[in-house]
Amino acid sequence: MRFAVASKDGKEINQHFGHVERFLIYEVDGDEVSFVEERAVEKYCRFDPDHPLRSHTLKGTADVLAGCRAVVCSMIGEAPKIELERIGVEPFVVEGDIATALRDLAKVL
């Protein structure tokens, strides 16, 4: 099962969905957690008053997340959460060690 993780340092889940410029993709198989790749995205939060919801950015991010079962981040707004759910990617708000969190999530998905 693949997860997209929002992390500043590659060790902890510690980044807000809207601030991500790259997702770290991990594969979880039983207790084994393996880093697969890094996928770049356009940053969602740009504080642009002319495009507050930035739906075009969410579409691009959704395309990048193809094949991932879930997105794991430290925070997420309502608009991106709804868009992720619409395309079948579950958003989870979690903080802490990446491997530990992904093992725990994989057990309940």
d(CA 16, CA 13): 9
CB of 23 closer than 8 Å to CB of 105? no
Domain count, the chain: 1
pTM: 0.89
- Residue 29 sits in which domain range? 2-108
Give residue-wise pLDDT tens across range 11-65: 999 999 989 999 999 999 999 999 999 999 988 776 555 555 556 677 788 889 9
Instruction: List the CATH number of the domain containing 9.
Output: 3.30.420.130
Give residue-wise pLDDT tens across range 11-23: 999 999 989 999 9
For residue 48, the model assigns a pLDDT of 58
Strands (E), the chain: 2-5, 12-13, 22-29, 32-40, 70-73, 90-93, 96-97
Other beta carbons within 10 angstroms of residue 55's beta carbon come to 12
Give residue-wise pLDDT tens across range 66-105: 899 999 999 998 888 988 888 889 999 999 999 999 999 9
CB of 5 closer than 8 Å to CB of 94? no
